A and B are shown apart, each in its own frame.
Chain A
Amino acid sequence: MPTPFKRHLLNCCCLGLLLASSLVSAATLTIGRSADSTTFDPINTTQNADNWIFSNIFDPLIALDRSGTELVPGLAESWTISEDGKTYTLTMRDAKFSDGTPVTAEDAAFSLMRIRNDDKSLWADSYKIIESADAEDDHTLVITLSAPSVPFLSQLALPNASVIPKDYFQEVGEEAFSQAPVGSGAFMLEEWNRGESVILRKNPHYWDRDRIELDGVNWLTLPDSNTRMLKIQAGEIDAAINVPFSRISSLEADPNLTVHLDASTREDHLLINHSHPPLDDVKVRQALDYAIDKQSIIDTVTFGYGTVANAYIPMGALYHNADNLSRGYDPEKAKALLEEAGVDNLTLDYVVNAGDEVDEQIAVLLQQQLSAVGIRANLTKVDPSQSWGMLVDGDYDISVMYWTNDILDPDQKTTFVLGNDANMNYMTRYDNPEVTQLVADARLATDPDVREEMYTRLQEMAKQDVNWIDLYYSPYRNVSTKAVSNFYQNPMGRFFLEDVSLSE
């Protein structure tokens, strides 16, 4: 018969063992990334770092599959589109938010109207096409568009358009929700230590919960890329995002680590300001294209991990034209074209993002290559927050920028780059009415074959006109320890943490 003290001691031991065993079985994946989240209100941000978390804790109506090339059911199990292409009827699955309340069509309608109408929404323009979104019953959502739009389904898969709980949101208010959100995703936010970490736990109410192997995910903010890489080499974290090109080979040689080079939709390109003569002359722009040795940029800057870009729709994205015209490196031809255009002693203002290692290296290479054909490039190094303003104001001749797709459909990027909308074709001031019209037509074409043809044609026309200069495509560069299985980022940037497992 144990004395009360001994029993107490025994209880303590049991409790201790219990605690210890639960600690061992708790599989928490720790990921280091360079930037912290800024908010958990999905409509109020355009940062990738925020969207990564949104796809962990929220669910959109329609999802992108693992390969990033196909739309699959999200919170909507199925959908039908009316004959005139304006009415979408979505049937919602039985799902619950992380607080246990059911996800209804009313929540979905509220979320869509919010991203469309709210003052805080940074995405309102993309959803203005919605005329109304109504819940017919708890499981049926009817969306009416003001005009038919083929890209609309893709637009519903954007993490920023995820479904949030209407009642909870209205109860706590916008401010509180942005710090302590409730969603229906695979994980839920447990704690946000600003500047330090975002702690996620498995959502016990997630509709596909059996698929989840991890108990939680810790996203750590480690802004210095040297430190981030040292930290995974020391085994203090399980994965790290954004490996510098220069570190890929040394990390690949580390027997404890796996480097993941997953296909992305990133394209780096050289913007040209068409409103500054003689850059309005297509011959001069073609000369620039011939004067630039893309392969040498890839070899030097990306250590060979990039691919020469031949079209504005990136490799691996929907309707990419692999056979698009590509101007090889030919300085003689560049000189001839410049002479034909009657241009000599050309001096260009080149805006460079200071502090960005890749951008600064490209600038040095381009300066050399351009000088070989008699073009002088004056480098102006400015903060990234300033360079964007200079591009908007047209205060530049050339500048290197990049783009990653947010949605599957090519319409988003095409409109931005060639559609001649509010952004002056990605600040290039490129203007070809024929191209603009084709962009509008392609948005409405419902036959996939016809659309593909149209986008193929657009890629050709853009290349012919040299709207900008396509430089290179590059993969996502992440690293994980060997204990991590299935770590993967799809081309649209989404991390599929619901498939990740950790071994001892």
Chain B
Amino acid sequence: MHRYRFLLLRPLQLIPVLFGISAISFVLVRAIPGDPARVLLGTRSTPEALARIHAEYGLDQPLPMQYLLFLKHLFDGELGRSIIYKTDTLTLLLERLEPTAMFILGSVLLSVLLALPLATWAARSRGGVADHVIRLLTTAGLGLPPFWLGIMLIILLSITWRLFPVSGYGDSLGEKLYHLFIPCLTAALSLSAVLTRSLRSALIREMRADYFVAALARGQSERYIFWRHVMPNAIVPIINLLAVNVSWLIGGSVVIESVFGIPGLGQLLIKAIFSRDYMVVQGVVLFFALSTVLVNLLADILTVFIDPRIKL
């Protein structure tokens, strides 16, 4: 029971982290030169019109005051109003949440589905042809930039073979999965390369351990030892690696969503940054930070669950 005591402490640690992130995102987005009111007004920005918009969104207040207002809104469960979309940031965020969540979930699932059998196969035929081919492929997977890979996959799978749509999202669950396949594959090819290589070496390390030889000597089948002992031991570091890479995926969604026209948080963020839509940038960054922390918490829970010896 005490193994899960960290679950009580973690939420407390969240508070300083989120405070820090909110302050950093607040300062950074204002540190880059530019003015959302000027973006909104375009060529029509006269000094009076600028002043009116600054007043409407509280941008005429001194910075510390603006930050306090932002925190006050946060405690009320609000993220402020988007200047460009002229609506509540939270509404925008919730609307865009699903595509990004689906994309990340799909990519993780697909990369695990690729990495598990490949790593197992490579580890069990260590030094053989399969092992060499898999190691070559994963090196290639690490080397290819996801942006380029995505375009190549579109040209092959969508234009030449017409198997999948070029971009977009869709309405029903089936349509969504259909649209998300190429973007998820793009991310999964990079991600599974990392996972395969790490899992392969972890498996090999475990298979060299004394307990493996001892169990073999006791007459247990290699297959049984592999799945009962080797895999659970090898998978623990991989879970944490995966958690770190989910953070990478959250960042990567910014690029991949714009290539594949997925209407998610990444696209919202990039548009908000370019138009200096302060509230939206703060909201999305805060949300990304919160997700990263939660994913890592989830990884910790899984680790403790799989390996009872670990205490956090």
**Which residues of A line the B interface, CB within 8 A?**
38-39, 41, 44-47, 119, 122-125, 175, 178-179, 193-196, 220-224, 226-227, 230-231, 233-234, 236, 382-386, 388-389, 392, 403, 416, 422-423
Contacts and interface: CB of A to CB of B under 8 A. Distances in A.
Given A119-B56, A227-B166, A234 B49 contact: no
A46 B44 contact: yes
B274 A416 contact: no
B83 to A, nearest CB: 10
Nearest to A175: B87
Contact of A195 (B48, B49, B166, B263): B263
A122 B49 contact: yes
A45 B44 CA distance: 10
Given A230-B155, A234-B158, A383-B274, A44 B86 contact: yes
Given A227-B167, A234-B159, A388-B45, A38 B38 contact: no
A78 B275 CA distance: 42
A48 to B, nearest CB: 9
Contacts of B34: 383, 385-386, 389
Given A122-B44, A230-B159, A382 B33 contact: yes
B39 interface: yes
A178 B75 CA distance: 28
Nearest to B53: A122
A119 B45 CA distance: 14
Interface string B143-159: 00000000100110011
Interface stretch (B18-26, B197-205, B224-232, B254-262): B254-262
Contact of B85 (A38, A196, A392): A38
A389 B41 CA distance: 11
A231 B166 contact: yes
Interface of B: 32-36, 38-49, 52, 56, 84-87, 92, 95-96, 151, 154-155, 158-159, 162, 165-169, 258-261, 263-264, 267-268, 271, 274-276
Nearest to B276: A385
27 contacts: A39-B85, A45-B40, A46-B41, A119-B52, A122-B49, A125-B49, A175-B87, A195-B95, A196-B169, A220-B261, A222-B168, A222-B261, A223-B267, A223-B271, A227-B261, A230-B167, A231-B168, A234-B158, A234-B159, A234-B166, A236-B165, A236-B167, A382-B33, A385-B36, A385-B38, A403-B43, A422-B46
B33 A389 contact: yes
Contacts of A179: 87
B38 A221 contact: no
Given A230-B158, A383-B274, A392 B168 contact: no
Contacts of B275: 385
Contacts of A384: 274
A15 to B, nearest CB: 20
Contacts of A223: 258, 261, 267, 271
B258 A224 contact: yes
A115 to B, nearest CB: 13
Contacts of B154: 227, 230
A195 B268 contact: yes
Nearest to A32: B261
Given A195-B271, A224-B261, A383-B32, 9 more contacts: A119-B56, A122-B40, A179-B87, A220-B261, A222-B168, A223-B267, A231-B261, A234-B165, A386-B33
Contacts of A44: 86
Contacts of A382: 33
A125 B275 CA distance: 24
Contacts of B271: 195, 223
A231 B169 contact: no
Contact of A222 (B33, B155, B167): B167
Nearest to A230: B166
A88 to B, nearest CB: 24
Nearest to A45: B40
Nearest to A124: B49
A224 B168 CA distance: 12
Nearest to B155: A230
Contacts of B92: 194
A416 B46 CA distance: 11
Contacts of B155: 230
Nearest to A121: B49
Given A220-B168, A221-B261, A389 B56 contact: no
A230 B162 CA distance: 11
Nearest to B162: A234
Nearest to B56: A119
Given A47-B42, A227-B154, A386-B33, A236 B159 contact: no
A55 B275 CA distance: 25
Given A194-B263, A195-B96, A389-B38, A123 B44 contact: yes
A221 B274 contact: no
B167 A233 contact: no
A125 B52 CA distance: 13
A31 B261 CA distance: 14
A392 B47 CA distance: 10
A312 to B, nearest CB: 14
A38 B83 CA distance: 10
A128 B274 CA distance: 32
A46 B33 CA distance: 22
A220 B52 CA distance: 32
